[in-house]
Amino acid sequence: MVSLSLRFCSLLALVPLAAVGSVIPRADAYDYIVVGGGSAGSIIASRLSENSSVSVLVIEGGPSHEGEVDLTIPYVYPRTFRSRFDWNYTTVPQPNLGNRPGIYLRGHVLGGSSSINGMTLNRAPASDWDKIASYTGDSSFRWDAILPYIKKNEGFNRPPNTPEYANTYDPAVHGFNADKIGNTLVTDGNWISQPALQAATEVGINYVRDVNGGLPVGISWQQFSTKDGSRSSAATAYLSAGILSSRTNLKVLLNAFVTRLLPVSGTDLKFTTVEYKDASGNTVTVSARREVILSAGVMSTPIILMRSGLGPRAHLQANNITTILDVPAVGQNLQDRCGAAAVWSVNATDTDDDIDRNPAVFNRWLNQWNQNHTGRLTQMSYRQMIFGRVPNNASIFSGGFQDPSSGPTCPHYELYPANKWTSPTTPQPATGNFVSMNIFVSASNVRGTVTLDPTNPLTGNPVIDPKYLSSEWDRYVMRDAVRTSVRYFNAPAWKKWNATPVFDTAILNSDAALDAWISSSAFGGVHGVGTARMGPANSPAGQDVVAPNFKVKGVSGLRIADTSVFPFVINGHTMGATYAIAEKVSDLIKSGN
């Protein structure tokens, strides 16, 4: 295990007591209450409290991120899975994943999933934002209107000023606000970058200068939310110990589990009261003078709405919850990006495999990280990423099938090569060096659900059914992505490393065999959206959950801002897009909209 370094002990001492749950809020004491101090919630609370005349309370279910080494060293993030920093959700058994239930990771800590995630920083392709704008009828979601919010959120770290990295990013699409979310390329000169880039050229994958320029299809350098060798999260950047101790108008309540929102008595449907269980299990209510902003994430936000009587009537009735407003869309339209990993052995010796299986190697890198925050633990095992599309002449399109992606510059799938064994469904061998292709179906047209646990509707975990790979389209894309991966690792660039698949390539001979391999290898995703989706300002409450100003339709005093509002799958990793909407909603609230 990683041991606490002295550096962290001193950080612990900096946490102001008021921020760690010692404050019992008095009713009506806050202008705004943010439910969930996660990726979106941390930003919103921080932005609103920039005005010292405005008081803000954050109610977060998990503990603080401060001083936690597993939330600081980038490489070790998988240690947080199934720890006290994870909500420990599971999906229902997935028929297209061999009937296996999947783990559904979600951060249970200040910073939310941004405190435990893989740090790949994407913003979604431009056409995804343009599609949201056209679906909602609100042009302020267009790519060119969102870009300023993206830049506002970002502290881009330029790679070394050497010819090798000259064309690996486009400064015009980045923000350089050093106190915000760090964004860093891995530039360690590791062996894998050369074949990873050359193989793409050899199989006809075009080079993209900047994955975050809006046109990601092709191969590009990955960008990661790290800064000075450590993780950079919504909590480290927006709710740092320094910010918490300097703002008396901002309180963060930790280890407080929000059960539901209550309508203000005597009003029609004004939802400004929050009910939660404090760390000792007492039920407490607290009210906002102005608004509640629900930012509990794609799984918890719909569950809190349902417990509050805002959801599909029949489902609430089945759980003995009185319906206050019938909102059929709550918990529906869950879209996610199903993943799988395929592995090749290589005769390169400088892979990350030994870091994972040999404590002596790990400890050597840990010592270096402790010394000056450099070395292999400052990064993950990825350096480049590929966004791809199934070809226009693919058989799936022949019967008049409509491409569900947001347009011809939107990816259908994502691939990223890793410098080690990454398959979670087959154990890493005790010896050998490997590279893996991590594969995600991006432009999914499957829609799943999140519902209440009928055995414990009031405090139970959400019942999550993403329905992975349940459409012919999603299965087609996954097959195409696996076949592209094999073609890629067959390219001449990998020959000098003797890249050899560790799976039987006979799976490629038939769709049935490939489906069987996918069914046993796929492991679900972490990029859920849509369970409280946004729609046009004038769509009926119930068809969509929030309006383009993030206000919940049909009630007052309540907004939702987190990944649950995206009306469609994001064709990239979701953190960056979530940050953008958090900046946007903060601006709307501050300007009185």
Ligand X SMILES: *[C@@H]1O[C@H](CO)[C@@H](O)[C@H](O)[C@H]1NC(C)=O
Distance CA 552, CA 560 (A): 7
What are the residues facing 325 on neighbouring strands? Answer: 310
The beta strands (E) that lie in 116-265 are given as: 154-156, 181-183, 218-221, 226-227, 230-231, 250-253, 257-262
- Minimal CB distance to ligand X: which residue? 498
The least distance separating ligand X from the CB of residue 121, rounded to whole angstroms, comes to 23
The yes or no reply on residue 347 touching ligand X (CB under 6 A) is: yes
Q: Which is nearer to ligand X, 261 or 346 (CB)?
A: 346
What length does the chain have? 593
Query: What residues make contact with ligand FAD under the rule CB under 6 A?
Result: 36-41, 59-62, 105-108, 112-114, 116-120, 122, 257-258, 295-298, 300, 304, 526-527, 562-563, 573-576, 578
Residue 403, token pair as written in the block: 């491409």
Distance CA 437, CA 521 (A): 12
Q: Is 441 annotated as a binding residue?
A: no
The least distance separating ligand FAD from the CB of residue 62, rounded to whole angstroms, comes to 4
Contact of residue 295 among ligand FAD, ligand X, none (CB under 5-8 Å per partner type): ligand FAD
Contact of residue 563 among ligand FAD, ligand X, none (CB under 5-8 Å per partner type): ligand FAD
Q: Which is nearer to ligand X, 200 or 348 (CB)?
A: 348
The yes or no reply on residue 538 touching ligand X (CB under 6 A) is: no
For the chain, the farthest-separated pair of C-alpha atoms sits apart, in whole angstroms, at 75
Q: Which is nearer to ligand X, 391 or 492 (CB)?
A: 391
Residue 171 buriedness (CB in 10 A; 0-12 / 13-18 / 19+) = exposed
Q: Which is nearer to ligand X, 393 or 538 (CB)?
A: 393
Q: Which is nearer to ligand FAD, 105 or 514 (CB)?
A: 105
The least distance separating ligand X from the CB of residue 346, rounded to whole angstroms, comes to 8
Give, as ranges, the residues between 352 and 391 that touch ligand X (CB under 6 A): 368, 371-372, 374, 391
The yes or no reply on residue 111 touching ligand X (CB under 6 A) is: no
**CA dist list (Å): 312 to 268, 509, 557:** 19, 45, 20
Q: Which residues of 225-243 are buried (b: 16+ CB within 10 A; e: fewer)?
A: bbbebbbbbbbbbbbbbeb
Q: Is 284 annotated as a binding residue?
A: no
Write each residue from 316 to 335 as x if it is in contact with ligand X (CB under 6 A), else as -, in one continuous string: ---xx---------------
Closest CA relative to residue 388, chosen from 529, 500, 467, 482: 482
What are the residues facing 524 on neighbouring strands? Answer: 339
Contact of residue 347 among ligand X, ligand FAD, none (CB under 5-8 Å per partner type): ligand X
The yes or no reply on residue 498 touching ligand X (CB under 6 A) is: yes
Rg of the chain in Å (alpha carbons): 23
Distance CA 343, CA 341 (A): 7
Instruction: Phi first, then psi: give them for residue 106, nearest 5 degrees.
Output: -150, 135
3-state SS class at 31:
strand
Q: Which is nearer to ligand X, 317 or 520 (CB)?
A: 317
Q: Would you tell me how many other CB atoms lie within 10 Å of the CB of residue 21?
A: 18
Contact of residue 73 among ligand X, ligand FAD, none (CB under 5-8 Å per partner type): none
Residue 20, token pair as written in the block: 């760690």
Q: Is the dihedral of CA 227, 230, 231, 236 positive or negative?
A: negative
Q: Would you say 564 and 577 are in contact if contact means Cβ atoms under 8 Å apart? A: no
The least distance separating ligand FAD from the CB of residue 306, rounded to whole angstroms, comes to 12
Closest CA relative to residue 469, chosen from 410, 519, 516: 519
The yes or no reply on residue 500 touching ligand X (CB under 6 A) is: no
Number of residues in contact with ligand X under rule CB under 6 A: 25
The yes or no reply on residue 457 touching ligand X (CB under 6 A) is: yes
Bridge-based pairing state of the strands 463-465 and 558-560: unpaired
Q: Is 412 annotated as catalytic?
A: no
Q: Would you say 546 and 562 are in contact if contact means Cβ atoms under 8 Å apart? A: no
Distance CA 80, CA 85 (A): 6
The yes or no reply on residue 593 touching ligand X (CB under 6 A) is: no
Contact of residue 498 among ligand X, ligand FAD, none (CB under 5-8 Å per partner type): ligand X
Q: Which is nearer to ligand FAD, 72 or 117 (CB)?
A: 117
Q: Is 527 annotated as catalytic?
A: yes
- Minimal CB distance to ligand FAD: which residue? 38
Bind-site residues for FAD: 109, 258
Bind-site residues: 109, 258
| Catalytic residue list | 527, 573
Footprint of ligand X (CB under 6 A): 51, 53-54, 82-84, 86-88, 108, 319-320, 347, 368, 371-372, 374, 391, 393, 395, 454, 457, 496-498
